[in-house]
Amino acid sequence: MKKITVSALVAALFVLFQACSEKIETDLTKTAFIPKPVSIAATGTAFEIKKSTVIYVQEGSEQLLHTAGILAAEIGKVTGQTRVQTVSEAPSKGIYLAIQENDDLGKEGYELNIGKKLITITGTNAAGCFYGVQTLLQTLPVNTSLEEPLYLATGTVRDYPEYGYRGAMLDVARHFFTLEEVKQYIDFLAMYKMNALHLHLSDDQGWRIEIKSWPKLTEIGAQTEVGGGEGGFYTQEQYKELVQYAADRQIMIVPEIDMPGHTNAALASYAELNCDGKARDLYTGTEVGFSTLCTDKEVTYEFIDDVLRELAALTPGEYIHIGGDESHVTAHDDYVYFVNRVQKIVEKYGKKVIGWDEIANAELVDDATVQFWADVKNTTMGVEKGAKVLMSPAARAYLDMQYDSTSQYGLHWAGYIEVDHGYNWDPATLVEGVTKENIIGIEAPLWSETVSNIDEAEYLVFPRLPGYAEIGWTAPAQRNWDEYKTRLAKHGKRFEALGIDYYKSALVPWEE
Ligand code: TNX
């Protein structure tokens, strides 16, 4: 008895000692979580991660096992290796992942409980568990090795998102991004609990997805990009690999075929898609609004039917994006006729329509979503027609907008977006007539006229992406820039550890 008391005392003193030596944080509320969780309660002690710490997974879910694998890989970077084991009951120590119904937490919610001996992550579904894991990963110190003991502050995080759609877009058409680069982008989204990656797969400068029934789209249309580089495309096999990689991280891919404008690459590949029957030259500039599919030729709709059928078959997610923006050389009536018909094709293949806000000029099918980027009138018209709204206001959420006049990449047609300006807005109050009930969520698009690879993209994406993730996840009443910037400051080291070339905004008190 006496012995136990002494060893307990020694252990307690040790934790206290560790806590006092500045390395160890035992106050969970001090962790710089992004996005900010709904609630954090600290219990003031510490969990020690060891080489022998096992990750236990409730049996029966493939997705949970994947999530555990991702967690093990991350913890393994610190411990050397970490074992994963399925179990039928909760263990008494280690790390435990399980799915558990919990009405209070909604469908993507989770509870992360860090005890002295046991860390439990329970999600209301597999996505919830994945988000709990991301939260746990943010409690790990950056750049540690198990030379030193590794302690995590104890306590409980209960959490769920404000919006169901939390996304980013990558324009792989203006510049092609390789499979590895897109996976890296997916990793960025996953770290911040985003769940949708919109891929802009076609534009004037390139067609990036293999369509078996129209092979010249890639034989010809994929062969270049802005600036005249060699372009590229994803085979259907590669695309499936991306879809799976994203799904393993609870991210849905939303594929976009932009039409009837932004179609020069297709018009260069197939002469018959042009009203004059003449193939266009490939295009490597950055103008917009000069191309259109021929809206009164039947072959146009046969083409779209084939493309969307093949694309829908590659898409487990619920949406197909039909673009619809900036069709400046399509007559209004032709545009409306075209968008009406194309929506029906999307429906026929069992998918929901998303389009840029211009599509609200058409009759919208049930369940259509209008992506607000520029035009308030279009967007409110969409709402009046019963559509949902995805919020991507260019002046706030465009990742390709420059931070200021000194930014090395990016454009500024919608203004400069410093990190605070990108963060400080509420999707539910930004546009009069568009309220929370109308909004499915937020998306931050990265157009790639000025960035040709992931390293260049990182400069525009970071540090703004975590802010967009927080807007999508955290209730507006819980968000404020002055507090957020101190949390963001602590993520600078994480970016560096990941080799991310971020913009060191002077507005953020980065930690040295
Ligand atoms: C407008 S946003 C576009 C894109 C450009 C972008 C550049 C939208 C629906 N259309 O074609 O790439 O501006 O910021």
Q: Whose CA is nearest to atom 7 of ligand 1?
A: 447
Ligand 1 nearest-atom number relative to CA 414: 14
- Do 258 and 380 belong together in one domain? yes
Please check whether residue 1 lies inside any domain of the structure.
Answer: no
Distance from the CA of 447 to the center of ligand 1, in angstroms? 7
Please check whether residue 503 lies inside any domain of the structure.
Answer: no
- Do 281 and 311 belong together in one domain? yes
- Do 155 and 179 belong together in one domain? no
Rounded to an integer, what distance in angstroms lies between the CA atom of residue 413 and that of residue 401? 8
Distance from the CA of 321 to the center of ligand 1, in angstroms? 15
Distance from the CA of 407 to the center of ligand 1, in angstroms? 18
Helix (H, G, I), strand (E, B) or coil at 494: helix
Ligand 1 nearest-atom number relative to CA 174: 12
Rounded to an integer, what distance in angstroms lies between the CA atom of residue 285 and that of residue 277? 23
Please check whether residue 499 lies inside any domain of the structure.
Answer: no
- Do 201 and 243 belong together in one domain? yes
Ligand 1 nearest-atom number relative to CA 374: 2
Q: Whose CA is nearest to atom 2 of ligand 1?
A: 373
Give the CATH number of the domain where residue 262 resides: 3.20.20.80
Give the residue among 206, 201, 204 at the shortest CA–CA distance from 221: 206
Contacts 24+ apart (CB under 8 A), 86-90: 86/56, 86/57, 86/58, 86/59, 87/56, 87/57, 87/58, 87/59, 88/58, 88/59, 90/56, 90/118, 90/120
Half-sphere exposure of 429 (CA within 13 A, CB side): 7
Q: Whose CA is nearest to atom 4 of ligand 1?
A: 447
Please check whether residue 414 lies inside any domain of the structure.
Answer: yes
Distance from the CA of 439 to the center of ligand 1, in angstroms? 21
Q: Whose CA is nearest to atom 8 of ligand 1?
A: 325
Distance from the CA of 413 to the center of ligand 1, in angstroms? 10
The predicted-structure confidence for 247-272, as pLDDT tens digits, reads as follows: 999 999 999 999 999 999 999 999 99
Mean pLDDT of 112-127: 98
Distance from the CA of 257 to the center of ligand 1, in angstroms? 14
Please check whether residue 240 lies inside any domain of the structure.
Answer: yes
The answer to whether residue 2 scores a pLDDT higher than 50 is no
Rounded to an integer, what distance in angstroms lies between the CA atom of residue 174 and that of residue 73? 34
Rounded to an integer, what distance in angstroms lies between the CA atom of residue 378 and that of residue 372? 8
Please check whether residue 106 lies inside any domain of the structure.
Answer: yes
- Do 151 and 200 belong together in one domain? no
- Do 402 and 299 belong together in one domain? yes
Using most ligand atoms within 8 A of CB, pick from 257, 286, 288, 373 the residue to mutate for ligand 1.
288
- Do 56 and 83 belong together in one domain? yes
Kindly report which listed range (137-146, 170-179, 373-382, 466-475) carries the lowest average pLDDT score.
137-146
The answer to whether residue 16 scores a pLDDT higher than 70 is no
Ligand 1 nearest-atom number relative to CA 262: 11
Q: Residue 10's pLDDT is what?
A: 54
Distance from the CA of 305 to the center of ligand 1, in angstroms? 25
Rounded to an integer, what distance in angstroms lies between the CA atom of residue 512 and that of residue 34? 19
Catalytic amino acids?
326
- Do 371 and 313 belong together in one domain? yes
Looking at 126, 159, 192, the residue that finishes a domain is: 159
Give the CATH number of the domain where residue 98 resides: 3.30.379.10
- Do 271 and 297 belong together in one domain? yes
Rounded to an integer, what distance in angstroms lies between the CA atom of residue 399 and that of residue 421? 12
- Do 145 and 242 belong together in one domain? no
Looking at 131, 159, 187, the residue that finishes a domain is: 159
Give the residue among 33, 15, 21, 202 at the shortest CA–CA distance from 116: 15
Q: Whose CA is nearest to atom 9 of ligand 1?
A: 325
Using most ligand atoms within 8 A of CB, pick from 447, 451, 460 the residue to mutate for ligand 1.
447
Looking at 159, 177, 206, the residue that finishes a domain is: 159
Q: Residue 1's pLDDT is what?
A: 42
Rounded to an integer, what distance in angstroms lies between the CA atom of residue 239 and that of residue 209? 8
Residue with more model confidence, 147 or 427 = 427
Distance from the CA of 337 to the center of ligand 1, in angstroms? 23
Q: Whose CA is nearest to atom 10 of ligand 1?
A: 325
Q: Which two tokens stand for residue 30?
A: 């001090």
Q: In what order do the strands lie in the sheet with 118-123?
A: 39-49, 150-159, 110-114, 118-123, 94-99, 54-58, 83-87
- Do 329 and 365 belong together in one domain? yes
Ligand 1 nearest-atom number relative to CA 449: 12
Ligand 1 nearest-atom number relative to CA 326: 10
Please check whether residue 208 lies inside any domain of the structure.
Answer: yes
Pocket of ligand 1 (CB under 6 A): 288, 325-326, 356, 373, 398, 400, 411, 447, 449
Average pLDDT, the chain: 95
CA 444 to centroid of chain Cα atoms: 8
Q: pTM for this one? A: 0.95
Q: Residue 79's pLDDT is what?
A: 86
Ligand 1 nearest-atom number relative to CA 400: 14
Q: Residue 142's pLDDT is what?
A: 87
Domain extent at residue 149: 24-159
The answer to whether residue 23 scores a pLDDT higher than 90 is no
Using most ligand atoms within 8 A of CB, pick from 205, 259, 286, 325 the residue to mutate for ligand 1.
325
The DSSP secondary structure of 125-177, one letter per residue, reads: SHHHHHHHHHHHHHHSPSS--TTS-EEEEEEEEEE--S-SEEEEEEETTTS--
Distance from the CA of 227 to the center of ligand 1, in angstroms? 17
Q: Residue 350's pLDDT is what?
A: 98
- Looking at the structure of the chain, the number of domains it has is 2
The predicted-structure confidence for 310-343, as pLDDT tens digits, reads as follows: 999 999 999 999 999 999 999 999 999 999 999 9
Please check whether residue 341 lies inside any domain of the structure.
Answer: yes
Using most ligand atoms within 8 A of CB, pick from 172, 326, 392, 399 the residue to mutate for ligand 1.
326
Q: Is 80 exposed, middle or buried (0-12, 13-18, 19+ CB in 10 A)?
A: exposed
Whether the CB-CB separation of 210 and 203 falls below 8 Å is answered with no
pLDDT above 70 coverage of the chain, percent = 95
Q: Which two tokens stand for residue 364?
A: 């919208």
- Do 152 and 174 belong together in one domain? no
Q: Whose CA is nearest to atom 6 of ligand 1?
A: 447
